[in-house]
Chain A
Amino acid sequence: MASNSFNKPKKVDKAKIKVTANKRSSITAQSQWQAYLQHHKLMAVDSLQRLLSSFSSSLMTWLVLAIALSLPMTLYVSLENVKQLSRTWDQSSQMSVYLKQGTKQRFADEITAELRSWPQIQSAEYISPEQALNEFKASTGLTDVIEGLEANPLPGVISVIPKLGNQDAGGLEALEQSILEQPHVESVQLDLLWVKRLYQFMDLGQRLVWALAALLGLAVLLIIGNTIRLSIESRRDEIRVVKLVGGTDAFVRRPFLYTGIWFGLGGGLIAWILLSAGLYWLSGPVERLISLYGSEFVLKGLGPSDSLLLIFDGVVLGWLGAWLAVSRHLSRIEP
């Protein structure tokens, strides 16, 4: 019945079967380890082939995962860019320090000199009430109205430019506070108050990124979990047979965990492609827009570490989702 090529080993094997029929041949630890690795490789390839053989439905899952993974990453990249942009704005932020009405020129000069000596201040310039009034007249042309005033309503102002660089919202606030503590200072106004607000918004944005990442991460888990659940259902017979011939839980779990990993990896890669393409698409208009303002801002793309993080997240979530589904549903299938 057998073809000729098998005739020789056949005879030998038959004899062997008889000899060892009653005792189980020993499996060494080394061969067991090799077989373990072999099975991993086999399952990795097999589960990928299964995904590719039903390509359109797999692609659908991959796209859904990619969208879920890319949304928080998009927000994160935007936020990083706004941060970078706001750093350049920060450098032009200016503070107006209003002195109390009737502060003598002598005291004003003293405070100006004092502020100038502070390390976190780049320059400070005193503008007396008269100067201010003249500037106001010149810029508004309301000379007649102003001539009609009994007294100069404007206070003295020290215009302060904080030192460039590592000023964040907290730093500016602290500076504002210590200037307020100086004598004769009525109030301090951050000319770019909105920079401060922007920081608060960015704080909020950061939290939003985390919340969104957590929610969509959960979505990824659920999507993968559900997909794996379906795949467990469709392979119910196989699982039963494997358990009956002595497959351990780990053995039964393995192909499904690999399926999860492939889903996660695919989702992560597509998310990365989507994001990179989107950023490339935006980079032209953004650069033209920025060049109008003469800024040196460059649209920041996905760095290598961000890219790796994105793909790694996909893989971990895929594996975890599969694990959750498998541990929930596999124990229910008993022979």
Chain B
Amino acid sequence: MPTRRLSIVLAEDSLLLREGLASILDRAGHEVRDAVGDGDALLAVVRKNPPDMVITDVRMPPGHSDEGLRAAAAIRAELPAIGILVLSQYVADAYLSSLLETTTGGIGYLLKDRVGHVTEFLESLDRVADGGTVVDPEVVRQLLARRRNDGPLSALTPRELEVLALMAEGRVNGSIAEHLVVSEAAVRKHVGNIFAKLRLDEGLDRRVSAVLTYLRG
């Protein structure tokens, strides 16, 4: 259970899901400051009074294409301090790459099904609020399936790939160690190897860069 109270703006056009999300967030002790049904309304309320977090659906009226995503991009450009969690009905990497290309954390991309796992969902929310990057495990699985053998990731061992995949889910070292049933020191060693093999720029958040490299294949 989260220890702090986040102020959240919710954008979701289905009334049913909006209410469901609101009651989950409410139950977890967060403040749902506004709940809107389209991208323009989202931008308007966020600009007026920036919240800690924005949770938005991808498809919303009027066009039912990627209004939520465009609103999210605009918010990220104007108010980078706001954490953004995007909910999508299905895996489409067209969404994912446009979301992750320009960003350095504080962002999440989850399938709507995930919301039903309330505890996990609230944990993801927390990680995004802390500046982490969270990508839905199912999305990660599908992207992994597509991985070609000539990318920068070909240098990694299977175990290192596994660790990287868990990083992409937004887990910290302790959680990864727990998941793989190894010591945290072992995980730290793997993470160090990953950073070295991917030749990541020291100036950036290497954890985020590694995950982005991973997701781009």
Please say whether chains A and B are actual partners in one complex. no
Binding site for B on A (CB under 8 A): none
